[in-house]
Chain A
Amino acid sequence: MSSLPVYSREALQADPPYLHPPYASTRLRSPREPLVIVPHTLSELSGPAFGHSDVRPEDADLTAHGQGQPIGERIIVHGRLLDEKGRAIPNSLVEVWQANSTGRYRHARDQHDAPLDPNFFGAGRCLTDAEGRYQFTTIRPGAYPWGNHPNAWRPAHIHFSLFGPCFLTRLVTQMYFPGDPLFPFDPIFHSVPDAKARERMIARFDLQATRPEWALGFRFDIVLRGPEETPMEHGR
């Protein structure tokens, strides 16, 4: 019988709790009972595989989905998808969605009084390459108000959805921009208890990735839970 990969639970400590009262929506949506801690069976250690039929090359360029160019500051967001041991996670689906440059989402429930952009839809996807790299071209999203508390504003962010190799590596997170003055006031950003862990959600400006006369570059590496070395890898 082949041995299954072994995942530690240490990584779970970086995550926010379910109940974080400053973020009002957690109050009625967080479980009251403790989670049941379960062993990792084949069900948690397997997961969906996606391929090139799930993405088209143009899906990674969010500025190319309309009839014309969207308004705003054009940016390149790129990075690597890695596991805790620093190993690349190749051929893995990366999905993003975001507000436009005015801070408005193309969604029926977004009633923020800021203009929609007919040339910006705000969704993209790609597969990581053999070295775990991904890259999107998009528009820098705007900050926007929300109803959590008086004068509440979300710092600008891009939503990221990642799969990794199995069910237990699934992650949805948000990428923030360096130096955002709204960080101290945002209960979602601060739901992550550890300051160092919060910093891992902030992209860094990347002059090397900047395309002269075209777009600013930002780098955002994403780290998913990774398996310990399996007994198989120690040789036999």
Chain B
Amino acid sequence: MSVTPSQTVGPYFQIGLIHERWSSLAGNGERITIEGSVLDAEGVPVTDAMIEIWQPDNKAFGRFATDPSTGRFAFETSRPVSMGPDAAAHLCVGVFARGLLKRLYTRIYFDPTAINGNDPILSLVPYARRPTLVAVSTGDRRYRFDIRFAGEGETVFLEC
């Protein structure tokens, strides 16, 4: 059988998809906060994007919308841990929005030295672009991670 094709979530996905219970990720351990903005090719905040987080090491799922006036987001989770000898700790990120005909997939890494390591996915990314996948520590268990659809500093997106 052939697969059903993807279509955009459009601008009204909140009606069906946004629930308070998925705004932070379940899990024990040290809690961290990741915050950032979703930006389009001209750097304009995307005020109608939806982000999904899959954290494989503790099987936690999160989903939330960017702020309807600022395009910013913030979520809390427990600090991810590495799942293998070379694999660097990460979160899987799916981005959906009006104008996105299919999900964008990226990853958030936390260890800045991972860009020189042997992570099976990070090591496939052109070296100069790897920093777009690493969250920046802003202290007090907080991290910044922006998602840029295109243009200067375009986030690396993955095909799986």
Residue contact B121 to A170, C-beta cutoff 8 Å: no
Residue contact A29 to B46, C-beta cutoff 8 Å: yes
Q: Which of A28, A46, A173 contacts B40 (CB 8 A)?
A: A28
Bound complex: CA A225 to CA B87 (Å) = 25
Is B32 at the interface (CB under 8 A from chain A)?
no
**Which of B5, B12, B42, B54 has its CB near the most chain A CB atoms (within 10 A)?**
B5
Binds A, one of B70-78, B92-100, B137-145: B92-100
Bound complex: CA A107 to CA B11 (Å) = 9
B126 to chain A, nearest CB (A): 8
Is B118 at the interface (CB under 8 A from chain A)?
no
Q: Which of A36, A84, A172 contacts B7 (CB 8 A)?
A: A172
Residue contact A31 to B157, C-beta cutoff 8 Å: yes
Residue contact A97 to B17, C-beta cutoff 8 Å: yes
A37 to chain B, nearest CB (A): 5
Contacts of B5 in A (CB 8 A): 14-16, 173, 192, 197-198, 200-201
Binds B, one of A19-27, A69-77, A211-219: A19-27
Residues of A in contact with B, size category:
35 or more
- List the interface of chain B (C-beta within 8 A of A): 1-17, 40-42, 44, 46, 48, 52, 54, 56, 59, 61, 68, 83-84, 87, 90, 92, 94, 96-104, 107, 120-121, 124-125, 129, 149-151, 154-160
**Further pairs besides A38-B120, A174-B7, A200-B5: 20, Cβ < 8 Å:** A9-B159, A30-B41, A31-B154, A32-B41, A39-B121, A41-B120, A44-B160, A46-B54, A95-B16, A95-B17, A97-B13, A107-B14, A125-B16, A159-B7, A167-B56, A170-B94, A171-B3, A171-B6, A173-B5, A223-B3
- List the interface of chain A (C-beta within 8 A of B): 9, 11-12, 14-18, 20, 23, 25-33, 35-44, 46-49, 82-86, 95-97, 105-110, 121-125, 159, 161, 167-168, 170-174, 188, 191-192, 196-198, 200-201, 222-225
